[in-house]
Structure formats: structure tokens, C-alpha cells
């Protein structure tokens, strides 16, 4: 076996994602975090791990099955990656359930919030639960007895199932001894008991507990020896040959149902499942013991995410807040958004500042008689979107509405297909981007007739047009009517909807054409300034850093003497602080109440202090397989805001910031004697409106 000569310079992506989830899990272990929020962080880890197995682990297993030759950039072979990930994921899940059982659930119980085991049910509760089973559960359950005519069912991805051991013969004389019961997804996984039969306000019962108690009712005349909940995670990547299909939307609609039936990649069972049953399930799913996770509690913690919404206890949650508005939009009477944009560019910093102006921008355009056209990209927008409703209204009113809908936005495909259909029904122009390149750019353009000529207005941002996530994710959005920037945005729209060569853009950097080369050139320019003895500086904030050429350029800039600070929420393949390689590079990750989602790039640029915002992380896919934009902040006042609110304050955070070492491990950055500074809390105080 030969060693990969570049392996020592890069860290592994999959291992990095486990490290990221370790940092998220640390929030659930933090006593300062309110109890119900700690429960949410446990659920977020489960949700993250679900996608991790569905996509990343599934991909590694595919590489192993195909015997893919060669090393990755990190110098690891696929089977080595899988072994490392399996070991670390098992350790992470063990810690997750320890926190649940030893800290979070006992803490909630002290607050009168209980998740009752069967042994704790009172006679009155047991009677109510039995009636609930026959009324709500029994009619929709379909037990499948395993025999020659009923082979092991292809259980749906991430569905809750029960393996039931039986003794005796049924009405037809069959005695296979095993049956599978799948809990339909329409059934709630948690049931809140009525107050009149509870000794506290919040007593919950798991659906699994109810089914365990009454599973014998499904197998009349037979003896139930055991009932064990389990959950299979499957490969969820969609395979659509974009070069072959004639209609991507129709092809995708046909492919979506298959997502739930991909190859299994993980088996989760409860702690009461005996070895012979877990071995049977592994065999049926085609999995090995490395894919097996036995947990002390519910096999799907994601379903506990609903609990905080069911409980009226503000003292156990983060304090509520009202997003603020920039001063220019703080008007008591109705705001003419176009007039405000003509006065000055407007910067919004979500979630501290409201997403409502973005919605208002499209809504006002939809009803404004002077607006002649609206163009917008849609990556993720949700199933209930005021923006999409406004676009539909605008098209219905006869305006030229063009929407670039990315049908292959992972796990949002169905919602986007539905929006595309509704837009087409009212006469909007709907296009699905460019074959082989996901449209990930976040941009909207309104064309308005003013004083006999057309004027363009744009909104560009780092995050999706999704009102719900705008309350949870940190992102920047920019309104402008700068003619040159608007012309660049229009050029990108023309590329997406028409045909022709890519035109040269004056201000925007765009994937897959110029973003990678421009970013490399700008990093190299800082290195050249440092070599020439000029001040040089790079600060970059993003979700992930993986692209090898960018990492090499950063190493070279570090060697030239450029001080580099990277604020990377998730995976980072760069190794900071390595003598002779990256001693001038510091990497930190901030994990807190809000998901850090903005992409910000600062270059000293010979004193020009260039600041760019982008939809793109520094990853191969963003540079080469997606349509992305990176746009400058041109107004000096707004540049100072981005530098202060988006970068500088995160470099001073000593409460939620983790410092990364050269081996990819993270250590919480707390200064005991220093004044407490939490970036997210400070920005809430500075930018959010009064409660």
C-alpha cells in the first residue's frame, strides 16, 4: 500500500461531520442552555445523523461496494473512513442517550414534564390508553406475519417498526414465530395524556409504549414473547440521469417514492432487543454489526422535537424576541420599499433583523402597477410560503414572472415540484436551472417602469427564501438598485433561462465560471502583499471548507505571512496551526441558539477592505457543480456593519466558540477572567427589537 503524499495536509470530511455533531451535542450538555432547548439539541443531533447516514455514509459504503480505487484528499481509503466513522458515531450516540436519560429527562421530570413508562401508568391512565389504542391505533395497523408467502417487508426509510416474537398457531395453522408491525407515519409518536387523569400538567406516553402494551391484540389467540422497536436508515440519494430524461420534473416525481426504499445503511434497535432478533434484522437488511446501533430509549429522537411546542413553559426555553429592522425601514406608515432602496442599499442581518422586508419586496412588486417583471431563484422555500404565493398572484395579474426552481434541492424536491406546478398553472415561466448544476444562488430581481424607463431592483443573499429558517439561521441579505450590480444579476438570470456564452460580470463572481479562480486570485493577492511587506489579512466565515486548491492557497498565504481567521461552522479539511504549513491560520466554530449559515469573505486588499457575501461555501460542489454567486458590499457603512456583525464579534466570542487544532479536534474557547462575550446574544441585544 502506498501512502497518499497529500494526505497529511487534509482532514477527512466524514470524520469532520462527526466532530461537528459532537459540538452540537455539547449544547445539550450545557447547564446554561434551557432544558427544553437542550432536548432540541439532542433531536438536532439525531436529525443531523439521519442525513449523515442517508447521504455521506451511504456514499462511503457505495465506494466500498464498488471497490473504488485510490485515496481521498485526506489520504484515507473508503473502508478506513467507514471504520473510523462507525467507531466515532457509536461513541457519539452512546453519549447522546446518556445525556437524555441521565440529565435531560430527569431535569424535565423535576419540572413536571414526564415521559411515562408502562410500569408508571395508573389504572385510570391504563384504561384511557387502552381505549386510545382501539380507537386511534388498531384501525391503521397492519401486522405482517413472516412466512413463505410474506417475506420480510421492505420497511420504509426511518420508519418506526416493531419485530414481534410469537408462539402458537394462527387460524390457518401458521406458526412462523415472527411478525413485523410498521407504525404508519400519520400516527403521533408522542401522546399527551389528558390533565384530568394526570398528576402533573404534562404527562406524555410514547406510541411505542402503547403498542408494546397492546401488541397481543393484533395476534388473536397467540402468545407474544417479545416486541422490539427498530428503525432502518436507507440511502436517500436520488438517481436521475439528467442527460437522458426529457422532463426533469416528471422523472423526479417518479424517483421520489424510491427514496424510502434505497439500500439500508444503519439499523437502530431499542435496548430490550435480544441478540438473536438483532442478528435476524441485520441479516434481513443486509447489514453488518458495524451498522448496528442499540440505544437506551426511543429509536427516533427526532420525533421529540415537537415537545417544546406542546409545552407552555417559557422559562424552559430561550427568551423570545422580535426581529428588528434597519433604521431606514422603521417607519410608522407603510413603507415604499422601492423608494427606500433608491435612497441607499439596505442590509438585513437575519434572524436578528426581520425577514419581513424580503417578503414585502415581492408582495409589493406583485401588486405595483409599475412593476413589469419579477425574477427569482428558489432553492428551499418551504411548503407554506408568502413569497411563492405573491409570485403566483403576480403571474395571475399578468406580470412577467420567471422562477428558477431547483428541483434537486435535497429533501425539498417534493415541495419545489408542487410550487413549480402551481406557478405554471397561472402562466409563470418556470425553469429548472442548468443540467448538471444545481441552482443554489439566492437572488430576486424586480423590473419597474419609472419616469418612462425601466429600473431594476435586486435582493441577493446568503440564505434561502424561507421565512421559517430565517428565524433560526444567521444570514445576510442585501437590497440594491446599483445599475452595475443589477446588470450582473440580470446576466446570471439570462444564463439560467436562455442559451449563450457566459458574459463577463463587473462585480459578481459566479460558479461554475469565475468564483473559484477569483477566490484563488484574491487569496494569492493577499500573499503577494504580505511578501511585499504590505499589510495583509483574510477573514472568512462559511459552513464548510473542503476544496483542496483553496486550502493550498490558504497554506501558501499563511507561509507568506498573511494572518488568516476562518470561522467555519461545520466541516473543515484544512489543518490550522501546523508549523511550516499553517502557523498563521486559526479556525474556530461557533455553535449556539442559531445555526450559523452566512458566507462572508474579507480581504484587506491593499487597504480597500473588500467584503463579499455569498451563497457558496468553499467546497468542490459549490465551485464546480452549482450555480452560485458571490457579491460585494459596496457602501462603506454597510461594509463596516458586515465586518463588525458578521466577523469581528465572532472572533471575540469566548462562550460559544470552539478552537480547532491541527488534528481536527475542537476545544471550547472560554476565557475565565475575560468579560463574557457571546456573539449571538450580543447581536440579539444590538439588532432585535424590544420585546
The annotation places the binding site at: 48, 380, 410, 473, 569, 597
Q: Which residue has the cell 407554506?
A: 384
Cβ atoms of 484 and 398 within 8 Å: the answer is no
With CA atoms as reference, report the closest residue to 431 among 372, 386, 495, 388. Answer: 495
Q: Nearest 10 degrees: CA dihedral of 149, 154, 160, 161?
A: 30
Distance CA(43)–CA(54), nearest Å, equals 17
Closest CA to 459 of 545, 555, 376: 376
Using the structure block, give the residue that is written with the C-alpha cell 477527512.
12
Q: Could you tell me if residue 580 is left (phi over 0), alpha (psi between -120 and 50 degrees) or otherwise beta?
A: left
Nearest to 528 by CA among 493, 499, 553: 553
Would you call 466 a catalytic residue per the annotation? no
Contact 664, 575 (CB under 8 A): yes
Q: How many helices (H) and strands (E) does the chain have?
A: 21, 27
How far CA 358 is from CA of 272, 395, 396, 445, 633, in Å, comes to 51, 18, 20, 11, 18
**Among the listed residues 383, 515, 378, 498, the one whose alpha carbon sits nearest the alpha carbon of residue 438:** 378
- Based on the number of CB atoms within 10 Å of its own CB, is 635 exposed (0-12), middle (13-18) or buried (19 or more)? middle
Instruction: Work out the angle at residue 284's Cα, subtended by the Cα atoms of residues 280 and 290, and round it to the nearest 5 degrees.
Output: 75
- Tracing cell 507561509 back to the chain, one arrives at 559
- What are the helix (H) ranges across 13-163? 13-28, 35-51, 58-65, 78-99, 105-110, 123-132
Annotated active-site residue in 214, 350, 360, 440: 440
Binding residues for Mg(2+): 380, 410
- Three-state SS string over 456-496 comes to EEEEEECCCCCCCHHHCEEEEEEEECCHHHHHHHHHHHHHH
Annotated catalytic residues are 440
Amino acid at each position: 500500500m502506498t501512502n497518499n503524499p497529500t494526505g497529511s495536509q487534509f482532514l477527512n470530511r466524514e470524520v469532520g461531520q462527526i466532530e461537528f455533531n459532537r459540538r452540537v451535542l455539547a449544547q445539550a450538555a450545557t447547564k446554561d442552555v434551557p432544558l427544553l432547548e437542550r432536548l432540541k439539541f439532542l433531536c438536532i443531533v439525531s436529525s443531523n445523523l439521519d442525513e449523515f447516514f442517508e447521504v455521506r455514509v451511504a456514499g462511503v459504503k457505495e465506494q466500498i461496494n464498488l471497490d473504488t480505487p485510490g485515496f481521498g484528499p485526506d489520504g484515507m481509503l473508503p473502508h478506513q473512513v467507514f471504520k473510523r466513522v462507525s467507531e466515532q458515531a457509536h461513541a457519539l450516540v452512546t453519549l447522546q442517550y446518556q445525556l437524555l436519560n441521565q440529565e435531560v429527562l430527569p431535569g424535565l421530570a423535576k419540572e413536571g414534564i414526564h415521559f411515562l413508562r408502562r410500569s408508571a401508568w395508573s389504572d385510570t391512565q391504563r384504561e384511557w390508553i387502552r381505549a386510545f389504542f382501539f380507537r386511534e391505533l388498531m384501525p391503521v395497523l397492519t401486522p405482517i406475519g413472516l412466512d413463505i408467502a410474506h417475506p420480510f417487508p421492505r420497511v420504509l426509510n426511518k420508519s418506526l417498526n416493531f419485530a414481534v416474537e410469537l408462539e402458537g398457531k394462527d387460524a390457518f395453522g401458521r406458526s412462523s414465530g415472527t411478525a413485523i408491525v410498521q407504525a404508519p407515519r400519520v400516527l403521533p409518536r408522542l401522546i399527551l395524556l389528558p390533565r384530568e387523569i394526570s398528576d402533573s400538567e404534562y404527562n406524555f406516553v410514547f406510541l411505542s409504549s402503547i403498542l408494546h402494551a397492546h401488541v397481543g391484540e393484533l395476534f388473536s389467540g397467540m402468545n407474544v414473547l417479545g416486541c422490539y422497536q427498530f428503525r432502518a436508515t436507507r440511502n436517500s440519494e436520488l438517481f436521475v440521469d439528467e442527460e437522458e430524461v426529457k422532463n426533469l420534473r416528471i422523472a423526479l416525481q417518479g424517483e421520489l417514492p424510491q427514496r424510502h426504499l434505497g439500500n439500508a445503511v444503519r439499523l437502530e434497535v431499542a435496548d430490550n432487543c435480544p441478540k438473536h432478533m438483532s442478528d435476524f434484522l441485520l441479516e434481513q437488511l443486509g447489514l453488518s454489526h458495524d451498522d448496528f446501533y442499540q440505544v437506551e430509549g426511543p429509536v427516533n429522537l427526532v420525533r421529540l422535537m415537537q415537545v417544546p411546542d406542546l409545552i407552555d413553559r417559557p422559562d424552559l426555553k430561550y427568551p423570545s424576541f422580535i426581529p428588528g429592522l434597519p433604521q431606514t425601514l422603521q417607519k410608522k406608515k407603510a413603507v415604499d420599499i422601492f423608494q427606500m432602496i433608491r435612497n441607499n442599499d439596505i442590509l438585513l442581518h437575519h434572524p436578528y433583523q426581520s425577514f419581513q422586508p424580503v417578503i414585502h419586496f415581492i408582495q409589493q412588486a406583485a401588486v405595483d402597477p409599475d412593476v413589469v417583471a419579477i425574477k427569482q431563484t428558489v432553492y428551499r422555500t418551504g411548503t407554506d410560503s408568502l413569497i411563492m404565493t405573491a409570485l403566483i398572484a403576480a403571474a395571475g395579474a399578468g406580470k412577467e414572472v420567471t422562477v428558477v426552481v431547483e428541483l434537486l434541492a435535497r429533501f425539498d424536491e417534493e415541495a419545489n415540484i408542487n410550487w413549480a406546478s402551481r406557478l405554471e398553472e397561472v402562466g409563470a415561466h418556470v425553469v429548472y436551472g442548468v443540467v448538471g448544476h444545481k441552482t443554489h444562488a439566492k437572488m430576486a430581481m424586480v423590473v419597474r417602469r419609472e419616469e418612462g424607463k425601466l429600473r431594476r431592483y435586486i435582493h441577493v443573499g446568503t440564505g434561502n427564501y424561507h421565512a421559517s429558517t430565517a428565524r433560526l439561521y444567521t444570514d445576510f441579505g442585501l437590497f440594491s438598485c446599483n445599475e452595475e450590480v443589477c446588470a450582473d444579476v440580470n446576466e446570471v438570470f439570462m444564463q439560467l433561462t436562455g442559451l449563450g456564452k457566459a458574459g463577463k460580470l463587473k462585480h459578481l463572481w459566479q460558479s461554475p465560471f469565475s468564483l473559484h479562480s477569483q477566490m484563488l486570485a484574491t487569496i494569492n493577492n493577499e500573499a503577494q502583499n504580505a511578501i511585499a511587506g504590505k499589510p495583509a489579512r483574510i477573514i472568512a466565515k462559511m459552513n464548510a471548507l473542503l476544496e483542496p486548491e483553496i486550502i493550498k492557497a490558504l497554506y501558501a498565504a499563511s507561509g507568506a505571512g498573511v494572518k488568516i481567521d476562518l470561522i467555519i461552522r461545520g466541516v473543515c479539511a484544512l489543518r490550522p496551526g501546523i508549523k511550516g504549513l499553517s502557523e498563521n491560520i486559526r479556525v474556530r466554530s461557533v455553535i449556539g441558539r442559531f445555526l450559523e449559515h452566512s458566507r462572508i469573505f474579507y480581504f484587506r486588499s491593499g487597504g480597500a477592505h473588500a467584503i463579499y457575501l455569498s451563497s457558496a461555501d468553499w467546497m468542490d460542489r459549490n465551485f464546480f457543480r452549482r450555480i452560485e454567486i458571490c457579491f460585494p458590499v459596496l457602501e462603506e457603512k454597510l461594509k463596516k456593519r458586515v465586518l463588525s456583525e458578521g466577523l469581528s464579534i465572532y472572533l471575540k466570542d469566548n462562550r460559544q466558540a470552539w478552537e480547532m487544532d491541527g488534528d481536527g479536534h475542537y476545544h471550547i474557547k472560554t476565557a475565565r477572567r475575560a468579560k463574557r462575550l457571546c456573539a449571538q446574544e450580543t447581536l440579539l441585544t444590538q439588532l432585535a427589537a424590544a420585546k
